[in-house]
Amino acid sequence: MDNNIEILYIDDEYNNLVGFKAALRMQYNIHIASNTTDAENILMTNPNIRIIFCDQKMPGENGIDFFSRIKKEYPRPIRILITAYADMDTVIDSINRGHIFRFIRKPWEEAEVISCIEEANKFFVTNSLLETRNMELQKAYEELDKFAYSVSHDLRDPLSGVLGAIRIALDFKSVEQVHEILFLMKASIVKLEDYINSLRDYYLLRRGELNLSKIDFNLLFEDILDFYKVYTQNSGIDFNIKVDQSKTFINDKSILELILHNLVSNAIKYQKIDSHDKRINLSVETHNGDARILVSDNGIGIPKEAIQDIFRLFFRASDQAEGMGFGLYNVKTAIQKLKGKIEVESEIDNGSTFIVTIPSK
Ligand code: ADP
């Protein structure tokens, strides 16, 4: 028995209401109502009600009419009718039409009510699980659809680029001409490599368990700084890091790296090309067991109307740099996996700040 199970009992006879509550209140969380209007108010304010018992014979609206009326608005709770023998034809018809899950005879006995609750609860739990699985399946189908589309564009385009370049190069006589075309081929191959890296991240995030270790943010940030050093120096970007870590922080290092690489590479990609003052700041503070990481840039910024979409798979808001719209989707999935959150502040032409909060494990 589980006293988290919330039950609504509707009966116009006060003694029955009191008897039901008195008998079952220790095992379950019981709500009672003496008419269907009150019952509806209770349903409205208690979304976790799993099982509804309703007496068939009540002045005004009877039990079956009530159940068939609320079925659309409250489809999840399991509906159980309490009735006398005399109503049997109506009851069978109602079960057949799916308005009720079961009925119990009046006067009810405690043991029968309890077995009915347990059975209804099992049905409810199975249904909820099925609903969750269906939602996951729906999401997986949608992603598959996007993948099929993206493979036909994002993988085919760079491949066609390389093939085209090879065909042209075959007719070249001088090494200089071949050299020139190699640059074009390189750009296409880098694009392919990015795509494959993002795919690797996508599958890394689907791996079940976390690989936990103590995180030294100084080391982690130094590695990121080193990784992008050649690029930031060549592009004149002033890249600063700041670490304020007073507490031990435990988490999955590969997933943190994935988040940081995606955010920092975007901060680099979306700089204002002609600016002489390009800046990126990467900082972290540990506080109350959380790490609050900020990645900010003074680049091109994100259009207001696009901000809510940037975490969607394959969504892109700018053509300034090569990209597939994969990065921030992976960032969001990674942060969800670590039970953290991400916020964005951005202004066109003034830059963007991504604020990531992650709890220590
Ligand atoms: P990609 O960079 O491959 O397009 P992302 O998922 O990493 O894909 O980012 C989605 C979109 O969000 C980008 O196309 C870009 O328009 C926007 N964006 C992300 N980060 C920044 C940033 N730091 N500055 C400006 N725009 C950004």
- Residue 150 pLDDT: 79
> pLDDT tens-digit profile of 10-61?
999 999 999 999 999 999 999 999 999 999 999 999 999 999 999 998 988 9
Q: What share of the chain is helix, strand, coil (3-state, %, to 5)?
A: 50, 20, 30
The pair of structure tokens assigned to 331 is 């960032």
**DSSP tally for the chain: helices H, then strands E:** 10, 12
Separation of alpha carbons 257 and 265, rounded Å: 12
Collapsing DSSP states into helix, strand and coil, what is residue 18?
helix
CA of 358 to the centre of ligand 1 (A): 21
> pLDDT tens-digit profile of 282-332?
999 998 889 999 999 999 999 999 999 999 988 999 988 878 888 999 999
| CATH number belonging to domain 6-108 | 3.40.50.2300
Q: Which pairing describes strands 351-359 and 290-297: parallel, antiparallel, or unpaired? A: antiparallel
Angle CA(316)–CA(136)–CA(307) in degrees, nearest 5?
25
Separation of alpha carbons 70 and 198, rounded Å: 47
DSSP conformation letters of 323-343: --S-HHHHHHHHHHHTT-EEE
Please report, for residues 210, 216, 295, 359, 360, the alpha-carbon distance to residue 250 in angstroms, rounded to integers and kept in the order given.
Answer: 11, 9, 20, 9, 5
For ligand 1, atom 19, which residue shows the shortest CA distance? 266
Kindly give the confidence (pLDDT) of every residue in the chain, 361 residues in length, as a single tens digit, with 9 standing for 90 and above: 555 899 999 999 999 999 999 999 999 999 999 999 999 999 999 999 999 999 998 988 999 999 999 999 999 999 999 988 667 887 888 887 778 899 898 888 999 999 999 999 999 999 999 999 999 999 888 888 888 887 777 788 888 889 988 998 888 888 888 888 888 888 889 888 888 888 888 888 887 789 899 999 999 999 999 999 988 998 999 999 999 999 899 999 999 999 999 999 999 999 999 999 999 999 999 988 899 999 999 999 999 999 999 999 889 999 888 788 889 999 999 999 999 999 999 999 999 999 999 999 9
For ligand 1, atom 3, which residue shows the shortest CA distance? 323
For ligand 1, atom 12, which residue shows the shortest CA distance? 310
Ligand 1 pocket member 351 (CB < 6 A): no
Please report, for residues 137, 211, 309, 311, 333, the alpha-carbon distance to residue 336 in angstroms, rounded to integers and kept in the order given.
Answer: 18, 15, 17, 12, 5
Amino acid, single-letter form, for residue 360: S
CA 46 from chain centre, in angstroms, equals 24
Helices 253-269 & 217-234, crossing angle to 10 degrees?
A: 30
- Residue 92 pLDDT: 83
Tokens 């959380």 label which residue? 290
CA of 350 to the centre of ligand 1 (A): 15
Task: Considering the domain delimited by 212-359, tell me its CATH architecture.
Answer: 2-Layer Sandwich (3.30)
Ligand 1 pocket member 27 (CB < 6 A): no
Nearest C-alpha neighbor of 192 from the set 351, 318, 323: 323
CA of 307 to the centre of ligand 1 (A): 10
Phi, psi of 213 (to 5 degrees): -155, 170
Which pTM was predicted? 0.69
175 CB-contact burial (10 Å; exposed 0-12 / middle 13-18 / buried 19+): exposed
Q: Which residues sit opposite 352 in a β-bridge?
A: 297, 346
Ligand 1 pocket member 325 (CB < 6 A): yes
CA 174 from chain centre, in angstroms, equals 54
- Residue 1 pLDDT: 52
CA 276 from chain centre, in angstroms, equals 39
Separation of alpha carbons 11 and 62, rounded Å: 10
- Residue 327 pLDDT: 93
Mutate to test the pocket of ligand 1, among 157, 228, 328, 345 (most ligand atoms within 8 A of CB): 328
Nearest atom in ligand 1 to 299's CA:
24
CA atoms within 13 A on the CB side of 285: 5
Helices 175-206 & 253-269, crossing angle to 10 degrees?
A: 140
Nearest atom in ligand 1 to 194's CA:
3
Q: What is the mean pLDDT of the chain?
A: 91
For ligand 1, atom 20, which residue shows the shortest CA distance? 266
DSSP conformation letters of 7-45: EEEE-S-HHHHHHHHHHHTTTSEEEEESSHHHHHHHHHH
Angle CA(77)–CA(34)–CA(113) in degrees, nearest 5?
50
User: Which letter, b or e, does each residue of 223-242 get, where b requires 16 or more Cβ atoms within 10 Å of its Cβ?
Assistant: ebbeebeeebeeeebebebe
Mutate to test the pocket of ligand 1, among 199, 266, 335 (most ligand atoms within 8 A of CB): 266
Tokens 């608005």 label which residue? 73
- Residue 173 pLDDT: 85
For ligand 1, atom 7, which residue shows the shortest CA distance? 327
